[in-house]
Amino acid sequence: MSEEEQAYEPKIVAFLCKWCSSAGSDLAGVSRIQYPANATPITVPCSGSISPLYILSAFNKGADGVLLSGCHIGDCHYIEGNYLARRKIYLIKELLEMVGVEPDRFRMSWVSAAEGAKYAQVVKDFVADLKPLGPQNKLKADRT
Amino acid sequence: MIDVQSIRDAARDLLAKGEVRAVIGYQRGSRGMLAEPVTITDPEQADELVWDATCFHNLALYLVEDRKALAHAQRTPNLPIAIVAKGCDARAIVVLMQEHYFKREDVYIIGVSCEGGGVLVEYKLARLLNGAQALSAVIDGAELVVTTLAGEVRLPASEVMADRCLECREPFPKEHNVVFGEDQTSRQLVAPFTALARFEALSEADRWAYWCRQFERCIRCFACRSVCPMCYCDECVVDSITFPVAPETTAEEKANRIRWIERSAVRSENITYHMTRAMHLAGRCIDCGECERVCPVNIPLRLLNNKMEREAREHFGYEPGASIGGPSLVASFRDDDPGQFIR
């Protein structure tokens, strides 16, 4: 690995459901679990509230990877929000791949409020997968 | 083959008996053989209606326009509006009704089956005619009958038809009040999603290079959005100039509105615009292919919409425009929806 690659730290935008993953990330913090600081968390009311435009816009604003995390199937605070998210996110994932964006740049996970360790692992894996890809320039806005 | 006189008679009857307030159909345009959309309100005008292989337009768009005009004028007419609808147009009307854009009784659908044919593509025809000027083009069975100054030419219809018509799975308007032509739903000219499958065989790098070439050309004229019957929002999330401005809107409010993407016609914004549009049309696009036809820079937009359509069909068992009462694609779910990609 070259020095340049080692210095590269991917920027991750993480949309976290306020009822589970957001608390899960908090648990990872208060449990003093060490994990990369690349993810910028954005708390959303529910994974089902995610508009595809949030994801596209994050890439457009320069995110190297986008993570979306919600409650496990059956655990949604709004009963069915994560079922709706699963469908919608499946479609946007397929569309991103079709256009030629690397599939590893976009990830979804189920993390409950008790799974601080899992959240840390998800971010760790994501960062490890993003590093070899390098900066994301495909959808990033060219504002020169 | 449908006798155009039967469509004219139906339209004349409806108007004369006062059953509808207008008929949306096709008439001979000012551009040679090409048909153009027309709204007639007088029974006398019914003889101007035409039906041939140049009736490209998805007339469902004009139902939307009509609805918007009525809302603007604050009128609620008690008569329905009639519309000449091909298979794809009828599916678009079903989607609009599914979304409660208007009610079933507000529309009188004069269905026309494309039977074994469809609509032609001008450049394909021009290539085959070798420069000769076509005066009319009608599909007769598996052949396209073109009248030119030099006389009649018969061409194989499959060579001049639009890709969307070749791949069409439902050339018969299922939802109709009256219908002309035979139901040839089982016809199979080219397997559905052929163009998409060909494209998907490319590698990731090639796919990206392909879309770069396409989207660098986009001039963001929004013709694809304008022609789409499903793009009926007054306020378009990716187009900041459509945001409503009232006298009391302050400069601060205007400046602070979220602009998800910019209007500038650069690659990154163009891609985001078209992907957003594809997502907004997922489960709603009925593959009339109008966006692709009107694109002034020939971006193959059908690929994006076809992709969403095929995923919805294969993984969610969803067929857009199949039923008025059914749930929409993204507002419903099944327990066995794919979820293996989630960690």
d(CA A79, CA A60): 32
Is B85 in the same domain as B231? no
**A56 is a domain residue:** yes
Do B89 and B201 reside in the same domain of the chain? no
Whether B153 and B6 map to the same domain: the answer is yes
Whether A1 maps to a domain, the answer reads: no
Whether A57 sits inside 8 A of B339 (CB atoms) is no
> A3 falls in which pLDDT band (50, 70, 90)?
low
Q: Is A6 contained in some domain? A: no
Of B190, B220, B249, which residue constitutes the final position of a domain? B190
Q: Are residues B27 and B159 in the same domain?
A: yes
CB contact burial B24-49 (16+ within 10 A = b; e otherwise): bbbbbeeeebbbebbbbeebebbeeb
Question: Closest chain B residue to A74 measured between Cα atoms?
Answer: B335
Chain B residues in contact with A57 by the CB 8 A cut-off are 260-261, 272
pLDDT at A144: 61
> For residue A7, what pLDDT is reported?
82
State how many domains chain B has.
2
Decide if B338 is inside a domain: no
For residue A68, the domain's CATH number is 3.40.50.960
3-state secondary structure of B274: helix
The answer to whether position B342 is within a domain reads no
Residue pair B133/B148 in contact by the 8 Å Cβ criterion: yes
CA B304 – CA B154 distance, rounded (Å): 34
Rounded CA separation A70/A10 (Å): 22
Percent of chain B with pLDDT over 90: 69
Using a CB-CB cut-off of 8 Å, the residues of chain A touching B260 are 53, 56-57, 60
Per the structure, the count of domains in chain A is 1
In this structure, is residue B51 part of a structural domain? yes
Question: Are B96 and B146 in a shared domain?
Answer: yes
Query: Is residue B30 situated within a structural domain?
Result: yes
Residue B343: inside a domain, yes or no? no
Phi first, then psi, for residue B334 (nearest 5°) are -130, 155
pLDDT score of B256: 85
Nearest to A89 by CA among A51, A138, A43, A41: A51
Residue B185 lies in a domain: yes
On whether residue A5 sits in a domain, the answer given is no
- Same domain assignment for residues B103 and B48: yes
Strands B151-156 and B107-112: unpaired
Claim to verify: residue B72 and residue B181 sit in the same structural domain = yes
Residues above pLDDT 70, as percent of chain B: 100
Instruction: Enumerate the residues of chain B whose CB falls inside 8 A of the CB of residue A108.
Output: 341-343
Q: Is residue A143 part of a domain?
A: no
Which residues 119-138 of B are in CB contact (within 8 Å) with A? none
Q: Please indicate, yes or no, if residue A100 is contained in any of the structural domains.
A: yes
Same domain? B140 vs B237: no
Residues B3, B142 within the same domain: yes
Final residue in a domain of this structure, among B190, B216, B232: B190
B152 and B135 share a domain?
A: yes
Q: How many CA atoms lie within 13 A of B308 on its CB side?
A: 28
3-state helix, strand, coil in chain A (%, to 5): 45, 15, 40
* Residue numbers of the domain that contains A68: 12-131
Q: Which of A52, A86, A97 sits opposite B342 (nearest CB)?
A: A86
- Put simply, the chain B residues between 291 and 330 with a CB less than 8 A from any chain A CB are 303-304, 307-308, 311-312, 315-316, 329-330
Residues B112 and B230 in one domain: no
- How many CB atoms neighbour CB B235 within 10 A? 9
d(CA A120, CA A116): 6
A93/B205 touch (CB, cutoff 8 Å), yes or no? no
Does residue A3 sit within a domain? no
- Structure tokens that stand for B17 in this block: 């008996």
Mean pLDDT across chain A? 93
In a domain, A141, yes or no: no
ipTM over 0.95: no
CB contact under 8 A, A99 and B330: no
Cβ within 8 Å of A, B 18-37: none
Question: What is the mean predicted confidence (pLDDT) over B140-156?
Answer: 88
DSSP string, B1-39: ---HHHHHHHHHHHHHTTS-S-EEEEEE-SSTT-EEEEE
Average pLDDT of chain B? 92
What is the Rg, in whole angstroms, of the alpha carbon atoms belonging to chain A? Answer: 15
CA B224 from chain centre, in angstroms, equals 10
> Which structural domain range is residue B274 located in?
193-331
Q: At what angle do helices B87-98 and B60-73 cross, to 10 degrees?
A: 40
If asked whether residues B105 and B168 sit together in one domain, one would say: yes
> How close is the nearest chain A Cα to the Cα of B289, in Å?
18
